[in-house]
């Protein structure tokens, strides 16, 4: 079989769906390389700063690594702005949805909410509430997200910071995104963390 016969999903046979499942499983094995390609594409985005979006992402991950963060957090820091090109108004949630099946819930929560937490540094310049993040102040992941923003994200626009190339992080990306998705032993109890009102 080279392609299915049906034109409406409800008409598909078990054999056709098994065929499609095999193709999809094969396609998904290449996810790490697609992530790396999407990261490379960030080099052409973000005007006005002293670094481009790829350099910012690499620097965020490098700072996380230098601080002793674990591999899940380092990779999350690397991909945290991956949604800027296609989802500029909800880029945090976009990036979180990409990494969510592969990391513990607190890492997903950190990425999901980092855009809101970043407002602490600039919202007041637009007459906004820089402390809007404090609606989550009692959340168990609040401190992790605040640390992510303070130590790694907002600080990573420095063209002189010694930043390794993407190839340095590629093995980590491959390990994280080659995991079997949604494994309870990886996601842990944090899988059901509240994601609404982001």
pLDDT in tens, 72-115: 999 999 999 999 888 999 999 999 999 999 999 999 999 999 99
pLDDT of amino acid 187:
85
What's the whole-number mean pLDDT along residues 32-38? 97
- pLDDT above 60 for 191: no
Predicted pLDDT of residue 189: 64
pLDDT of residue 197: 43
Q: What residue ranges do the domains of the chain occupy?
A: 15-184
The whole-number pLDDT of residue 190 equals 53
3-state secondary structure of 9: helix
Angstrom distances, CA of residue 111 to CA of 16, 75, 82, 92, 190: 37, 11, 11, 6, 14
The top-level CATH class assigned to 15-184 is mainly alpha
3-state secondary structure 57-121: HHHHHHHHHHCCCCHHHHHHHHHCCCCCCCCCCCHHHHHHHHHHHHCCHHHHHHHHHHHHHHHHH
The 10 Å Cβ neighbour count of residue 49 is 12
């Amino acid at each position: 079989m080279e392609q299915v016969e049906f034109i409406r999903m409800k008409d598909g046979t078990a054999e056709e769906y098994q065929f499609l499942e095999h193709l999809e499983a094969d396609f998904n094995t290449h996810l790490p390389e697609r992530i790396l390609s999407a990261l490379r594409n960030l080099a052409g985005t973000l005007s006005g700063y002293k670094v481009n979006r790829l350099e910012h992402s690499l620097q965020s991950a490098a700072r996380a690594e230098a601080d002793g963060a674990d591999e899940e957090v380092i990779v999350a820091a690397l991909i945290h702005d991956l949604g800027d090109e296609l989802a500029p108004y909800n880029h945090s949630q976009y990036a979180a949805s990409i990494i969510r099946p592969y990391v513990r819930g607190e890492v997903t929560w950190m990425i999901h909410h980092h855009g809101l937490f970043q407002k602490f540094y600039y919202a007041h310049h637009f007459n906004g509430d820089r402390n809007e993040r404090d609606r989550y102040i009692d959340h168990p992941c609040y401190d992790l997200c605040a640390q992510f923003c303070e130590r790694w994200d907002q600080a990573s626009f420095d063209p002189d910071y010694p930043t390794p190339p993407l190839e340095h992080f590629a093995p980590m990306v491959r390990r994280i995104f080659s995991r079997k998705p949604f494994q309870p032993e990886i996601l842990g109890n944090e899988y059901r963390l509240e994601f609404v009102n982001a």
